[in-house]
Amino acid sequence: MVYSFLLFLLVFTGIGISAIFFSKRSASDYYLASCTTSPWLVGLSAVATNNSGYMFIGVIGYTYVTGLAAFWLMFGWITGDFLASLFVHDRLRRATTETGETSYAGVLSHWGGTRYKHLQHLSAVISLMFLLAYASAQLVAGSKALQVLFAWPAWAGATMGAVMVMLYCFAGGIRASIWTDAAQSFVMLAGMGLLMVVGITALGGTGETISQMRLVDGYLDWFPGDLVLPGLAGGLLFALSWMFAGLSVIGQPHIMVRFMSMKSSGNSMSRARVWYYGWFTVFYTMATIVGMLSRVYLPEIGSFDAELALPTMAQQLLPPALVGLVLAAMFAATMSTADSLLLSCSCAITHDLLPHKVEKRWMLWTATIVTTFLALLLALMNNQSVFNLVILSWSTLASAFAPILLVYVFGGRMTETAAISMLVIGVTTALSWRWMGLHQMVYEGMPGILAGLLFYLGWYAVYAPHKLPPKVTDVK
């Protein structure tokens, strides 16, 4: 088991390090791979980064507790993500070329010829805070898996992941990250598929599996029991709120930068979308099924940590070599996101907060070391669930950036003060929603995003359009 796990880790690290032979000594190459990434690589890398340890640890744990109703989370998330991609991704890719920026915050702050440096600085600070929290959750997810299967101390898995990420980020920046993501995505799919097939087979087939699930009270109910509204209305509101969780992908710098790095050609985005959503749908479906299976194999007991359901189940059902494969898949999921998050943190420091002239190679590496160390420190101090920490970071970033990006994509304009106000109102709303405990009923990113958009509509109605700064295309 240990040997097969370490073998996969060596392969992933080797793939990442090999990117050094294609690396160019520039910030644009380190953070955007010089915008030369193939669509299929973009699709696989983006979806592997999106799924992360959240899927192997967080979603499995959530499904273990919730049951069939977790399907609505999957349906809402993928639907919202897909709808957002139809309008945003290609426009963001073109804006990357138009602005010449190498960071997500940089593109937002220079969209359409604007030069909003205060917005760029504030966006960088928000990104840094919540991407670091997100990265720490990935390191925690990896360490949880190793803790269950190898009885290693909590710090061991987190430290191993941090070192791996640093090695191949040094070698090739985002190019190394994208290459390893693509390789990791296949292992993730194989690991989840293996556990699903073995789990159903061991119970005697699909029919017997469903019968076993019926024995758990309310486990096959279509809607969660704690909805704000009962029945179908509550279920639809629940699904709608999670559609906003899927739409929130456009506010995640570490994912959107993948699409920013893609080489531009006629149907590149369509091809990337096929890879992304095909893999996403298959993998998320299998993850939901495995989460439900885990409840059959591991009946709820007192202090059992639901987020350890998958590694515990793998240990019960599979021979050691295959347990190593599943563990490698879990660890790959955490690393495919952690490396992306840490590179985005590094970019926030060197490109968005510091003057561009300091973006030397040694400065990029130093920023990566610093952010990796901070994420590791947060991981070792963490006492929250992976699911909650990821959703908190995800929703806050979405509430900050998605409203601004949507306004730009649909042709809107605003002053820097309005953009900053949208960001602050979105973040404040999302965090307040969670603080009041309302996130148990409705995903907090939904009110956060809507608050930012509603502010813009009110601001635009009051602020005469002729007072807005002209677009670059309007200037003679």
Q: What is the DSSP string of 392-445?
A: HHHHHHHHHHHHHHHHHHTT----HHHHHHHHHHHHHHHHHHHHTTGGGTS-TH
Residue 461 confidence class, pLDDT cut points 50, 70, 90: confident
pLDDT reading at 247 higher than 70: yes
Tens digit of each residue's pLDDT (9 = 90 or more) over 181-219:
888 888 888 888 998 999 999 988 999 999 988 888 888
Nearest-CA neighbor of 267 among 38, 32, 49, 81?
38
The mean pLDDT value for 306-335 works out to 79
The mean pLDDT value for 414-423 works out to 93
Length of the chain (residues): 476
pLDDT score of 383: 61
Q: What is the DSSP letter of 264?
A: P
pLDDT score of 475: 36
Highest mean pLDDT among 55-64, 75-84, 308-317, 350-359: 75-84
Using CA atoms, how far apart are residues 155 and 133, in angstroms rounded to an integer? 16
The mean pLDDT value for 318-346 works out to 81
Lowest-pLDDT choice from 181-195, 290-304, 396-410 = 290-304
Nearest-CA neighbor of 23 among 378, 398, 365, 453?
365
Token couple for 311: 């590694």
Using CA atoms, how far apart are residues 150 and 166, in angstroms rounded to an integer? 23
Coil, strand, or helix at residue 229?
Answer: coil
Domains and CATH numbers, the chain: 2-385 (1.20.1730.10)
pLDDT reading at 17 higher than 50: yes
Tens digit of each residue's pLDDT (9 = 90 or more) over 58-96:
778 888 888 888 888 888 889 999 999 999 999 999 999
Mean pLDDT estimate for the chain: 83
pLDDT score of 429: 96
pLDDT score of 162: 84
Highest mean pLDDT among 21-25, 39-43, 262-266: 39-43
pLDDT score of 474: 40
Contact in structure between 102 and 27 (CB atoms under 8 Å): yes
Q: How many CB atoms lie within 10 A of CB 265?
A: 10
Tens digit of each residue's pLDDT (9 = 90 or more) over 139-151:
877 777 677 667 7
pLDDT score of 311: 79
The mean pLDDT value for 384-391 works out to 70
